[in-house]
Amino acid sequence: MITRRGFLGTSLAGLGALSIASRARAQDAGAAAKPAADPSRRILVVVQLSGGNDGLNTVIPFADDVYQKSRPKLAYGEKEVLRLDERTGLHPSMKALHKRFDHGEVAIVQAVGYARANRSHFRSMAIWHSADPDGGAPRTGWLGRTADALDPSGTNPAVAVGLVNPMPFALQRSNATVLSFDNEEGFTLAPDKRFTQGKKAQLEAFRALCASAGDASTYAERVRATAALGIGSADKLLDCLHAGKNKANYPRGAGSKLAQVARLIDGGQSSRLYYVATGGFDTHARQKDAHAGLLASLSDGIEAFYDDLEACGRAQDVVPVTFSEFGRRLAENGSQGTDHGTCGPMFVVGPSVKGGLVGDAPDLAKLVDQDPVARIDFRSVYASLVHGWLGLDAAPIVGGEQPLLPLFA
């Protein structure tokens, strides 16, 4: 027999499958499209490049002798790169993104990081997720605080959606749950296998339980109401995912996640923040071919994403931004790879972006502990996105005032 207490306990545990928790060198000014007319429709998509992307072989200082001498096997020459200016080029596998850069639709923020860089994957990722490099213990992530500002009442769990499982700390909110899932099949309530009833019966019983009102002053009622809100948001999200269609062909990796975001947007999902992640960037050995594949997937994935967005009339409304927890060391190692470093580039993409190189390239003649020094604090990029794109007060979200970058026209 399924008791109310037993079913509620096991089904709420199953609900965990949902991961419910809480300088610019501009291109020709005429090439930059105007931002979306309606700020309430603007969407930010954060793309995490897990492992520590090699920024020096992504945005390549091909004219720098120090770069060439430090990487006898991994360096790219002038004739190989996709030129951005007289000294810098994009990795040769990123042709689609380079074309958008030439059209003024990509801002490349150079040498982004933070002071006293940490080379631990876990600690550095926590710093990027929390926007707190000073060793504090924040209870919310920077995107979670952004979601709180977009949804002050906490009644819209789907204002931010993660396509990652488990949910990244960056999405942790203070006043609401957050929906996060790794794939469509996993985005369901998980029935308890101890029960003999079928999955459909269990889920219907749980929905009925969550729909029943109780004493609003009790903890149990607050749990029930929270679960009901999460289920309603999850059901709508799945409906939008099924209704949306991909017309473009996506590569694996980052592309597969962006494909899901495109389906959600096409299907009518009203989320303002999306979070996706793709791995493989911890290139300690045999880097050259592997890194080329990863960057091709990222570039082609973003291109397919915009093909879909243009098809559904939402390209002006959406801005993806990429980040990685750190860059790689200047010097290649003995395994034809690179080791954990400090700063790296961030890409901000879209028709509404003011394209160009933002900030100066890392100074390879002035290293600290064998690494280039960050020139732009990552919180300045966050603040520029939160304020310039989403129209919010960025200071409470990034922990104080930060210089704003000219990322938008």
- Residue 390 maps to a domain: yes
**Residues linked to residue 349 through DSSP beta bridges, in sequence order:** 106
pLDDT score of 202: 54
The model's confidence at residue 197, banded by pLDDT at 50, 70 and 90, is low
Is 187 a residue whose pLDDT tops 60?
no
Give yes or no for residue 395 having a pLDDT over 90.
yes
* Predicted confidence (pLDDT) at residue 401 exceeds the cutoff of 70: yes
Dihedral of alpha carbons 35, 41, 42, 45, sign: negative
pLDDT of residue 135: 76
Do 307 and 96 form a contact (C-beta atoms < 8 A)? Answer: no
The total number of structural domains in the chain stands at 1
Q: What's the pLDDT tens digit per position in 301-342?
A: 999 999 999 999 999 999 999 999 999 999 999 999 999 999
pLDDT value, residue 18: 32
Mean pLDDT of 46-63: 98
User: What's residue 235's pLDDT?
Assistant: 80
Q: How confident is the model at residue 409 (pLDDT cuts 50, 70, 90)?
A: confident
Tell me, what's the pLDDT at 106? 98
Tokens of 23: 């300088």
8 A C-beta contact, residue 142 and residue 382 = yes
- Domain limits at 34? 4-398
Determine the Cα–Cα distance for residues 312 and 263; give it in Å rounded to an integer: 10
**How much is the pLDDT for 205?**
60
- Asked whether residue 403 is domain-assigned, the answer is no
CATH number at residue 254: 3.40.720
What's the token pair of residue 96? 């689609």
| 349 pLDDT more than 50 | yes
pLDDT at 182: 80
Place 293 in a pLDDT band, splitting at 50, 70 and 90.
very high
CB 147 within 8 A of CB 165: no
- HEC readout, the chain: CCCHHHHHHHHHHHHHHHCCECCCEECCHHHCCCCCCCHHHCEEEEEEECCCCCHHHCEECCCCHHHHHHCCCCCCCCCCCEECCCCCEECCCCHHHHHHHHCCCEEEEEEEECCCCCCCHHHHHHHHHHCCCCCCCCCCCHHHHHHHHHCCCCCCHHHEEECCCCCCHHHCCCCCCEEECCCCCCCCCCCCCCCCCCHHHHHHHHHHHHHCCCCCCCHHHHHHHHHHHHHHHHHHHHHHHHHCCCCCCCCCCHHHHHHHHHHHHHCCCCCCEEEEEECCCCCCCCHHHHHHHHHHHHHHHHHHHHHHHHHCCCHHHEEEEEECCCCECCCCCCCCCCCECCCEEEEEECCCECCEEECCCCCCCCCECCECCCCEEHHHHHHHHHHHCCCCCCHHHHCCCCCCCCCEC
Distance CA(243)–CA(67), nearest Å, equals 49
- What pTM was estimated for this model as a whole? 0.85
CA distance to 146, 161, 359, per residue, from 387 (Å): 10, 20, 19
Separation between Cα atoms, residue 53 and residue 340, nearest integer Å: 9
Q: Which of 409, 387, 380, 367 is nearest to 117 (CA)?
A: 367
- Nearest CA among 221, 231, 229 for reference residue 156: 229
Q: Does residue 266 sit within a domain?
A: yes
Question: Residue 15 pLDDT more than 60?
Answer: no
Task: Find the range with the poorest average confidence among 143-147, 158-162, 230-234.
Answer: 230-234
Q: What mean pLDDT comes out for the span 166-175?
A: 94
Asked if residue 30 has pLDDT above 70, the reply is no
150 or 182: which leads in pLDDT: 150
pLDDT score for 26: 39
Phi–psi pair at 122, nearest 5 degrees = -70, -45
pLDDT averaged over every residue in the chain: 86
Lowest mean per-residue pLDDT among 2-11, 102-111, 117-126, 384-393: 2-11
Which tens digits make up the pLDDT trace of 243-266? 999 999 999 988 999 999 999 999
Asked which of 149-153, 188-192, 213-217, 240-244 is least confident by mean pLDDT, the reply is 188-192
Please state whether the peptide bond connecting residue 61 to the residue before it is cis, i.e. omega within 30 degrees of 0. no
**Residue 245 domain flag:** yes
pLDDT for the residue 33? 43
Least confidently predicted of 25-34, 96-105, 199-208, 282-291: 25-34
The band of 3, judged by pLDDT with boundaries at 50, 70 and 90, is: very low
Residue 405 lies in a domain: no
Cβ–Cβ under 8 Å, residues 46 and 160: no
| Residue of 112, 133, 122, 58 whose CA lies nearest to 89 | 58
Q: Is the pLDDT of residue 90 over 70?
A: yes
Determine, yes or no, domain membership for 376. Answer: yes
Q: Which residues contact 75 (CB under 8 A, 6 or more apart)?
A: 57, 62, 67, 68
pLDDT at 292: 98
